Amino acid sequence: MAKSKGFNGHKNWNHWNVSLWINNDEGLYRLAMNCIASTDNRDEAAEKMLRNVSKKTPDGAPYSKSAIRAAMVGM
């Protein structure tokens, strides 16, 4: 059996929480998709999205480039 990642399949609670919000809030999801469509790669998309979101999720997890980038996997 494969060993799962740290927190619900994510690196940590912060990455999980940011992913939860981006993938379940329509406005954040659309923003992520627009950032992906308007840039050359997911790193640039994550940087662009980071400039356009608040500092933390409603649950208090800080948005970071790595957490946003992880949330964009599969998008």
Predicted TM-score (pTM) of this structure: 0.89
Domain residue extents for the chain = 21-71
Measure CA of the first residue to CA of the last residue in the chain; give whole Å. 26
Res. 73 pLDDT band, cuts 50 70 90: very high
Average pLDDT over residues 12-31: 97
Q: Which residue has the tokens 């649950």?
A: 59
Q: Quick: pLDDT tens for 23-55.
A: 999 999 999 999 999 999 999 999 999 999 999
| Average of per-residue pLDDT values in the chain | 93
Res. 1 pLDDT band, cuts 50 70 90: very low
DSSP codes of every residue in the chain: -PPPPTBTTBSSHHHHHHHHHHHH-HHHHHHHHHHHHTSSSHHHHHHHHHTTS-SB-TTSPBP-HHHHHHHTTT-
Residues contacting 33, CB < 8 A, separation 6+ = 75
